[in-house]
Amino acid sequence: MKNPRWRAAVAAAIQLCALGLLACAGAQLGGREPLPGNGPGGKPMRTATETAVGMPPAAPALVYPVTARVNVSDSYFGTQVEDPYRWLENLDSPQVAQWVAAQNALSQPRLASLPQRAWLKARLTQLWNYERYEVPVKRGGRYFYLHNDGQQNQSVLLVSDGLDAPARVLFDPNTVRQDATVAVSEFTPDVRGDVVAYAVSDGGTDWQVWRFRRVHDGADLPDILRFTKFWGVSWARDGSGVYYSRYPALPDGRGDDSGRPAVYFHELGTAQDHDRLVYEVTDHPTRIPAGRVTDDGHYLIITLFDGYERNGVDLLDLERPGARVQHVFFAWDALYTFIGAHGEELYFRTTKDAPLGRVIAVDAR
């Protein structure tokens, strides 16, 4: 190897190979600067030593409480429907209390550790805590309305004896129980504004319990109506009582919302067990009736509910003892919503031949 020309050629080849390797390495590394990690694509890789000694332990896997399934089913019109979690509906049972406590023990520490939680709480508090009034209802010169000062868990039912008169508290649900989960869900004063029927719901349930309170002294009458939800009450013109829709009762004393309610009349001063049956559906399994008295007390408008696209309407003349129910809208071809009445003329908003709705008048005779 004394030939200098050959020796120069070998040196040049070595340099070219080195440059080629550097170029390849540069292409793999993505440029002149190396990627930060030691794994594929520059991702960091833990060594066995780091995993065993130097790295923090992995977060423990969440273990959710076991939710028992029970063998419960119901038959709906010949179809058997399983309801394995029915036991969770018994909110007062020790089993449900234990299940809720276990769920809270799992979820609350994780929720409390969220870094955004404090900001979210502050912002939601800012958005929610403002004074608010609901639209007042005028009866007999008095004004009834719900009010919340922005700091109360539940709105308070107030009454004033005139537009310029100061309001006073008729019923404050925040004082019923320490956890403030009882709310006024509805209220309906009588025509003269002397008695207000008010419904309370407990813990967010749809079930309502109606009571009747004298306005002048804030005292409750002994009357209580149970097994109701959604449909409200409608006062007789003379203030003697209310029409309402009542669900059947189960043997254990709870309301049965798998059954169909019927319209009853409750006379003030009597027990609910003595309420008079006014109207029930006997020819269809899913239609639900609800009654509303016209402002002049002449008619009971009975709306039949079975979904949100169409309904039926029947009519009962309250001024004719023994009068039979008349069909007003029974084709079930559209929605018919009662607006009000003027004498014998009844007004409805309907979607019949009017997808955006229109107002029609019907002669009750």
| Span 222-267, pLDDT tens digits | 999 999 999 999 999 999 999 999 999 999 888 988 888 999 999 9
Say if CB 180 and CB 191 are below 8 A apart.
Answer: no
Say if CB 242 and CB 221 are below 8 A apart.
Answer: no
pLDDT at 94: 93
Q: How far is CA 9 from CA 3, 17, 20, 21, in A?
A: 10, 12, 17, 19
pLDDT at 63: 85
Which candidate, 356, 306, 346, 297, places its Cα nearest to that of 330?
306
pTM listed for this prediction: 0.70
Round the CA-based radius of gyration of the chain to a whole number and report it.
36
CA distance linking residue 106 with residue 334, whole number of Å? 49
pLDDT at 16: 45
- Cα 312 to its chain centre, rounded Å, is 26
Say if CB 103 and CB 150 are below 8 A apart.
Answer: no
Q: Which positions of the chain have pLDDT values less than 50?
A: 1-2, 4, 6, 8-14, 16-38
pLDDT at 162: 93
pLDDT at 190: 97
